[in-house]
Amino acid sequence: MKIAVLGTGAVGTTIASKLIELGHEVMIGSRSKTNEKAIKFVNKFDTKATNGTFEEAAFFGEIVFNCIKGEFAIEALKSAEKGIRNKILIDISIPVNTRNGAPLSLIPELCNTNSLGEEIQKNFPDTKVVKTLNTMWNTLMISPSMLQNGDHTNFICGNDEEAKDKVKNLLKEIGWLEETILDLGDIVGSRGTEAIVLLWLRIWGATIGTFSLKVVN
């Protein structure tokens, strides 16, 4: 499949690497086509990887991953608006307020009674936003089996059932066990999963090594 990965940070390149490994064609999108991180990444691979602007990548992908830093996500997606129209946007971004210093907090307008997932869906009503993978370390996103043979929870939410089914299939291709993908309903569920970052950082400070959350029942 042709897949766009918007964002050249650790999340974007980790996701892109895995998708290329699985045989997909990936275009990395960034603000500028001459983005050094994107070019460096693409040069590591053969023709399966290319790079372009956010808009070029969005047009290229049948599915688009949003791995842009939360505070820039809406603005960056606006520059790719026509490209993401009617497509599935897998949103992994967290609306961290980098202006507020430590301890880390969320952007006030994008938490509690709102979320980045919802805000993206409101701004791009023709795009099918599916929030997932945003509650864990980068490497766990693409290697769930490195913890407890993959027996921990990946939350998913979004308004379009068909879009969620397609994303679930892609998650299974990546290595997620079907029974560990927990569907929280519509995109409003992002309020809960994005807020996990406040807890996540505390668990990170209190434990040693890679961890994740599991819903037990």
Binding site for a copy of itself (CB under 8 A): 100, 103, 105-106, 108, 111-113, 147-148, 151-152, 155, 157, 182-185, 188-189, 191-193, 195-196, 198-203, 205-217
What token pair was written down for 14? 């980790």
Q: Smallest Cα–Cα separation from 33: which of 16, 50, 56, 52?
A: 52
Order across the sheet with 88-91: list the strands.
Answer: 49-53, 25-30, 2-6, 63-66, 88-91, 128-132, 154-158, 181-183
Closer residue to a copy of itself in complex, CB, 17/97? 97
To a copy of itself, the closest distance from the beta carbon of 154 in angstroms equals 12
To a copy of itself, the closest distance from the beta carbon of 133 in angstroms equals 15
To a copy of itself, the closest distance from the beta carbon of 149 in angstroms equals 10
Separation CA 176–CA 156 (nearest Å): 12
Amino acid at site 18: K
Closer residue to a copy of itself in complex, CB, 23/205? 205
Report in angstroms the alpha-carbon separations of 67 from 39, 62, 151, 197, 208: 17, 16, 24, 15, 26
Closer residue to a copy of itself in complex, CB, 125/185? 185
To a copy of itself, the closest distance from the beta carbon of 122 in angstroms equals 15
Closer residue to a copy of itself in complex, CB, 47/215? 215
